[in-house]
Homo-oligomer: A and B are copies of this chain.
Amino acid sequence: MANVSLRDVAARANVSFQTVSKVLNGKGAVAPATRQRIIEAAEEIGYVPNALARSLQSRSSLTLGVITVDFSNATPAQFLVGIEREARRHGLSVILSSLEPDGSDCVRYLRVLMERRVDGIIMNAPATEEDEEVGRLLRAGPPAVSLHEIAGGGVPRVTVDSEATAALPVRHLIALGHRRIGVVTGLRQRHSAQRRTAVYREVLAEHGLPYDALLVEDGAWEVEGGYAATHRLLDRASGITAIYVQNDLMAVGVLNALHERGVSVPGDCSVVGCDDHPVAARTIPPLTTVRMPFFDAGAAAVRLLLERIASGPPGDVVLPVSMVYRASTASPPAGSTRIARR
């Protein structure tokens, strides 16, 4: 069916195949009658242009490669959707590669993308943050843009305002009167989790509050991690009246753990999340959180990449975040904590 080429159309319309090409691309000057004849012939035998051949000749595949962490979670998925939409608006297709959790197959998939002659690469694979080989390939290969750190740098980045991402919720809690604020972090190896925790610490210091390592637990970005981290936190530390959770998925686990322990939110303990995941509006209670522009980040990555391809000098892009105030935060209970340590 699809093995119909320009030559076949040409034979049917009694012209050279190059003329068919001209007509179908609207390039050269062709007589209306001939044009008509060619168009009809193409339709009759079901001609479908071969993008492979076209790309070979034009040295441009109109394709973007995306290497991403497992996107069954909403966050990387939204980012991907943003990319795909924007790419499409520019007539580009997207080749998708999702990595193993440890990112060990990244180099292999970069190679595949290079063989396929993608016009650009977008990275969202924090697991490869430290991989030197990945950095090297990214600098040597086609234009690339990344959401996360790249070992050795040299790759323009799209990020959200990481300062504000942590500072807003922590300031909010402090303003409400909280002084002992627990933290449930994302995977501790990740730059973004480290950065957020560092900012938490800075904000505490700004307000003359002490930093206590006992108040920080790793929730690994997952629902169950948030749940387990909360139990560990409350088993160990006393006097906590609020928890800053580094994403909403973990916050779901946090709320559940608090509920299990009979801790009322926000009466006994406030909770702030991060991401504004779709479920955050309807958790019990609805979650105060930080809205992150993931769709926009995806779209921005594509635009930045296109600029780079057009050889504009690359500048990083930083997107703003904003607070969403819902029902999971309040002032701490009068007269210190009501949370029982077990």
Using a CB–CB cutoff of 8 Å, the interface residues on chain A facing chain B are: 1-2, 46, 48-53, 55-56, 61, 63, 70-74, 77-78, 80-81, 84-85, 88, 93-98, 111-112, 114-117, 140-142, 222-224, 226-227, 249, 252-253, 255-256, 259, 278-279, 281-284, 286
B84 touches A98 (CB 8 A): yes
Do A223 and B281 touch (CB < 8 A)?
A: yes
Q: Is the CB of B48 within 8 A of A114?
A: yes
Question: How many chain copies?
Answer: 2
Q: How far is the CA of A167 from the CA of B170 in the complex (A)?
A: 47
Do the beta carbons of A52 and B48 come within 8 Å of each other?
no
Contact between B282 and A1, CB atoms less than 8 A apart: no
Enumerate 7 A-B pairs (CB-CB under 8 Å) in ascending A order: A48-B114, A50-B56, A51-B116, A52-B117, A71-B71, A72-B78, A94-B96
Top-9 shortest CB links A-B: A256-B282, A51-B115, A77-B77, A51-B116, A96-B96, A72-B78, A284-B284, A52-B56, A253-B282
Give the shortest distance, in Å, between A76 (CB) and chain B (any CB): 9
Known: A1-B141, A72-B81, A84-B97. A50 touches B117 (CB 8 A): yes
Asked if A85 and B56 sit within 8 Å, CB to CB, the answer is no
Contact A53/B56 with A81-B72, A141-B2 known, Cβ cut-off 8 Å: yes
